[in-house]
Amino acid sequence: MGTYKEKLSILSEMIAFARVDHTLKESEYQFLLKVATNLGVEKEVFDHLLSEKSPKVILKTQAERIVQFHRLLLLMNVDQEQHKKEVSTLYNIGLHMGLPPAAISQVLEVMHNYPDKVIPPDVLINIFKAHYN
């Protein structure tokens, strides 16, 4: 997985997304901290990102973008609440990543078929594969 700068950028984007509703709930913080740990980012550095953004780094591969979209989808649903603004923002983030609009829409629709709206990674990947073929 990419450079340390890319990892910080990923986390900054996720923190900004979590704050779309102007709050950062404990469940969101804990989820973000787990992602940071999985990316090899220390808690102190992660906590610093809460107050100061990291420069934006564009993810190079489509696979990295899909993984980041999935992280954001999981983050959106971690608090068991979903707001129209979050869904709209996630859709727009996906578009800015260059993901196919129809695939994004399908993911946002299909997620309701799974417990806690957690789409299994293989299902998500198959949705995107279908739109690239």
- The CATH number given to whatever domain includes residue 56 is 1.10.3680
- How many whole angstroms separate alpha carbon 69 and alpha carbon 86? 13
pTM: 0.91
Count of the separate structural domains present in the chain? 1
pLDDT of residue 82: 81
| Domain containing residue 42 | 4-132
Instruction: List average pLDDT for each run of 10 residues in the chain, which is 133 residues long.
Output: 88 95 92 96 96 90 94 92 90 96 96 91 93 78
